[in-house]
Amino acid sequence: MIVIPRRELDSIVSTDELFWKLFGWPVLDDKVLENVREILESPDTHKQLYADEASRRYPLEIRQKLHQAGIGEILFGATEESNGRSTVPHLYALIYLCSRSSVSIGIDVGVNALGLLPIYRVGTSEQKARVAQAIRDGKYFSFLVSEKDHGSDVFSNEFFHDTGLVDGNTVYSLSGEKDWINGGGTHEYHLVLSRDKDSLRARTTARSFTLFLTHTDDKSISVTRKWRNCPAPAADISSVVYRQHTCRRTDRVGKTGSGFSVMQDAFSVTRGVVGVGAWGLASKVTDAVNQQLSTRCLYHKPLIEIEVIAEKLEQVRALELIIGCLVMKCLYIQNCFGVGASHYSNITKYASTKFLENMVILGKDLLSARSLLQEFDFHRVLRDYPLFAVFDGTADICLEQVQSKLTQCTTTLFSSSVSLKEFSEIFTSEPRSCHDSFSQENDGGLILFRTDDYAAATDVGDAYDIDIHFLSSYLMHEVEILKNTGQWFKHQTLRHDAAKALVHLECIFAINDICARNSGRDRLASAETRAVAICAEKVSRHLLMLPAADDTKTRRLSVIHAESVAQQRYIQN
């Protein structure tokens, strides 16, 4: 039976303290990040943000303040010799601080990470130098992929380029419209995904697409529409039209036909960044709940002393701990292996946004009517949280990626690109520059492990009063049986149920991996144990949805589910 330790009043840790507690590098003492935090937490900034959001005005003034604070040094280091601030941990910390202050600011700064990744990945030295200078000058970048008539179906995109020669030099003429572009009407540079004109009349393949770097100060590029975004109302979400815009060969990013694969690589990285943005917003939920319960009473009794309310606070803290541990583990992996962390980026994006939603529901329940009033800050959380779930791919897209890796790791000849021993060394790694982590020549291959192997190689089975080894082995065994009977390949729903079980097993692994390395683990013990119970309930629930292969094992699984779900009744409400 899972036993959740009772909470103590002095065990409440402010969520911002949780971020500093879990973050594994000393970059948080960096002067630029200190300046950013000071700017974003100032009353003047809050007042300006509220005004920008109320009028749906792009937060240019705050963007300029952040540039003056030096965030350009974090956003891009043009060469392998990083300035010491353009590291993966610095980038994560920056996005956290921005999203905690305002989702409008968070996604505006964060989209630069997406726009710059192709340059890190396959850009030439000249392109990197050009981009570095633009960042130093305070310019911003956007990634142009989406077209409103096609959504995620990129192969149906109509934006195209024609290739020709001028004075013996290759030139490209870009035409078409891109929609729902973050920063499309305000950012000075675009990374544009374009298909070859000939592919419009033939079967589209991944090799039909090429990336181009463009400057928006050209009459052939115009903004046709500003979209009214429900979340993050100050963000610039625009449609952009290109009318025979000319690009030189030096504007092509990567090889001809490599655009689709580079785009996928970029999304595989930024899904982890979406997770840290979700953590920033989650921290505001915990802050709001802490403030409400520590300052208000019900019939002369402090709310914090009412058992059912105190239990909900513990649920909120546990959910944020899950998000934080997921983000930190993804950060460690990306820091060392870059795009090789794609599996964990998908897991982080999917799970962090789901747990954020659970936190918001609990927060709304605890704050009651004041959560719905614009005079109180929580209404911004209710408004903004749905954005993260759809940013850089929907939940189904992430699950499809996860199930494909689950299929892969249960094949006979499967082996990870690194050993479990090598993988364990990521937690003691030094911060690496974004260039080193994300450039193509530094790929470390796919990082992926069987859950039963990972559970056996760590102390996760001994750390909690729940049989993690059983859950880990059960998942692998069930997938292998479903593959052997053909049901795995026939039913996508089964694959996604198994993928959800895998996601929440990885949540447990992340909690153990991060908390075990934290000097303040004892202080997090209550939230940690509860967080594992939350995830174990979800693992067992999704495993029970798979066709039963062994009645004895299924009964054991049902017991684990019953034990864990009993501790999570408030989430279900």
Residue-wise pLDDT tens digits, 299-315:
888 888 898 898 899 99
The full set of domain ranges for the chain reads 141-258, 397-414+450-572
The whole-angstrom separation of Cα 167 and Cα 398 is 46
H helix or E strand, kind and range, residue 269: helix 259-295
Phi and psi at residue 354, to the nearest 5°: -65, -45
Q: For 223, phi and psi rounded to 5 degrees?
A: -90, 125
For 418-422, which contacts have Cβ atoms below 8 Å and span 24 or more sequence positions? 418/337, 418/444, 418/445, 418/447, 420/449, 420/453, 420/454, 420/457
Residue 382: predicted pLDDT: 97
Q: Report the greatest alpha carbon distance in the chain.
A: 84
Which residues, other chains included, contact 503 with Cβ-Cβ below 8 Å and sequence gap of 6+?
A: 347, 350, 351, 399, 402
DSSP 8-state symbol, 84: S
pLDDT in tens, 154-183: 999 999 999 998 888 999 999 999 999 999
**Which tens digits make up the pLDDT trace of 408-433?**
999 877 888 889 999 999 999 999 99
How far is 76 from 88, CA to CA, in rounded Å?
10
Among 480, 473, 417, residue whose Cα is nearest residue 449: 417
Q: 2.40.110.10, 3.40.50.720, 3.40.50.10490, 1.10.357.10: which CATH number matches 141-258?
A: 2.40.110.10
Reading the block at residue 415, the tokens are: 């082996």
CB 114 within 8 A of CB 120: no
Q: Is the pLDDT of residue 7 over 80?
A: no
Token representation of residue 533: 């119970």
Question: What interhelical angle do 492-515 and 307-337 show, nearest 10?
Answer: 90
User: Does the structure show a pLDDT above 50 at 145?
Assistant: yes
CA distance 566 to 568: 6
- pLDDT, tens digit (0-9, with 9 covering 90-100), for 266-285: 998 899 999 999 999 999 99
Per-chain mean pLDDT for the chain: 89
- Output the six-digit token pair for 10: 């002095």
Residue 11: its pLDDT value, please?
36
Q: What is the mean pLDDT of residues 452-464?
A: 84
Mean pLDDT of the region 134-147: 95
Average pLDDT over residues 527-551: 89
